[in-house]
A and B are shown apart, each in its own frame.
Chain A
Amino acid sequence: MIVSSALIIWKGLMCITGSESPVVVVLSESMEPGFQRGDILFLQMSKDPIRTGEIVVFNIQGRDIPIVHRVIEVHEQRQSGEVRILTKGDNNDVDDRMLYAQGQFWLKQEHIMGRAVGFLPYVGWATIIMTEKPIIKYILIGALGLLVITSKD
């Protein structure tokens, strides 16, 4: 019951927000005290250009986990309409240039996966626990499997 409704909500969110991963879990403390580890963020991606202050989620080449930080600089080129973006975590002292790939000084609109528009505290802890201690994930899946086999529905 709970698993199937969670799946429906996930897929529905993917359609509504137009983003490939509409919900992300905050993994680091770089946005404290606003976002703590274990909170989940709802993302939305629209064609509007990114502006300063927006909290964006982006991927760096060579890193698999997405980063959630705030935009602090935007330079929009007149000719091409292309934007160059610089980000920084609220709790970090320096901007994110150190995190970008070698030789990359700016982010572009295509690197951004989505903007954070909403937030729920604590809900993401289940995902963090399952990622950091995979044994719990296996136990859960095993238990669910057992339930499916033994139930007489």
Chain B
Amino acid sequence: MARDSGIWQNSFIFISVDFNFSLRPKIKRQQLQQRQGTKTGKKKKMHSFGYRANALLTFAVTILALMCAIASLSDNLNTPSPSAQIEILNINWFQKQPHGNDEVSLTLNITADLQSLFTWNTKQLFIFVAAEYETPKNALNQVSLWDAIIPAKEFAKFSIHTSNKYRFIDQGHNLRGKEFNLTLHWHVMPKTGKMFANKIVMSGYHLPEDYR
């Protein structure tokens, strides 16, 4: 490194100046000291390559982190206004499993407009529909019935006809005549930064009184 060679140069100069001291007369000592001063004390130091690379890298990483933070903060400026409706078209079947847990299969019609949730910093929207209900044993049960990934704004306005992707199984046999909410949740997954999540709760759905 330049600093290394500088030290060697300095020692070389010291040695040569020392040599001169012993041989030259005293009158010229002041002049020699002045020269010594400019060569050693006030020598202009250049930063080494390693030092500069290190400083550049740190600066670049800091700026990148700052840009990611600003991108994430810009998501807060967006005021979304999503809307959704879910309709139960049919209860396909409703049975008690061999282990004693209730299970129900539904066909749903899910209509939603989630276009306002997309910003320039959004990579995708993860949405899912969950059934929420309570039972004597459990204060809250949330069972996810269906989910989807919306990769872009064009796909965010949709209407889909589907049976439940995941099994709706209770911990127990409490589902007969049960009243439950259907919630549409969405998770905004950004290109970088903070993730947001929210939901719309739709209530007033019932399960039939008897098994079918």
Question: Is the CB of A145 closer than 8 A to any CB of chain B?
Answer: no
Asked if A119 meets B138 with Cβ closer than 8 Å, knowing A1-B55, A5-B58, A84-B171, the reply is: no
Contact with A along B129-167 (1 / 0, CB 8 A): 010000011111111100101010000000000000010
How many residues of B sit at the interface, in one of the four size bands? 35 or more
Interface residues of B in 161-212 (CB under 8 A from A): 166, 171, 185, 187, 189-195, 197, 199
A residues contacting the other copy or chain, number (CB 8 A): 35
Are B128 and A77 in touch, CB under 8 angstroms? no
A72 x B166 contact (CB < 8 A)? yes
Is there an interface contact between A33 and B128, defined as CB atoms closer than 8 Å? no
Pairwise interchain contact B191-A90, C-beta atoms closer than 8 A: no
Q: Note all chain B residues with C-beta closer than 8 A to A78.
A: 136-139
Is B107 in the interface zone, CB < 8 Å from A?
no
Instruction: Assess whether B138 is in contact with A147, with CB atoms less than 8 Å apart.
Output: no
B contact residues around A120 at 8 Å (CB) = 68, 192-193
Asked if B3 and A2 sit within 8 Å, CB to CB, the answer is no
Verify if B61 is at the interface (C-beta below 8 Å from A): yes
Q: A5-B58, A33-B124, A90-B149 are in contact. Are A76 and B50 (CB under 8 A)?
A: no
B130–A53 touching, CB < 8 Å? yes
Q: Does A37 contact B (CB under 8 A)?
A: no
Known contacts A53-B128, A53-B185, A90-B149; is A118 also within 8 Å of B54 by CB?
A: no
Q: Determine whether the beta carbon of B138 is less than 8 Å from that of A75.
A: yes
> Smallest distance from the beta carbon of A97 to chain B beta carbons, Å?
12
Q: How close is B89's CB to chain A, nearest CB, in angstroms?
A: 22
Nearest-neighbor residue (CB-CB) of B132 within chain A = A52
Partner of A51, one of B3, B138, B142, B151: B142
Interface residue A121 (Cβ < 8 Å from any Cβ of B):
yes
Q: How far is the CA of A54 from the CA of B4 in the complex (A)?
A: 55
Asked whether A34 lies within 8 Å of B138 as measured between CB atoms, the reply is: no
- A40 to B138 Cα, complex, angstroms: 35
What residues on B are CB-neighbors of A79 within 8 Å? 137
Residues of A within 8 A of B136 (CB): 78
A95–B142 CA distance with the chains assembled, in angstroms: 15
Please give the distance in Å from B11's CB to the nearest CB on chain A: 14
Measured CB to CB, the residues of A under 8 A from B are: 1-2, 5, 33-35, 51-55, 70, 72-79, 81, 84, 88, 90, 95, 116-121, 147, 150-152
7 pairs, CB–CB < 8 Å, chain A vs chain B: A5-B58, A34-B149, A52-B185, A72-B128, A118-B72, A120-B192, A152-B4
- Known: A53-B128, A152-B3; 15 extra A-B contacts, CB below 8 A, are A2-B54, A33-B149, A34-B124, A34-B149, A52-B130, A52-B185, A53-B185, A70-B126, A78-B138, A90-B126, A95-B166, A118-B193, A121-B191, A147-B50, A150-B4
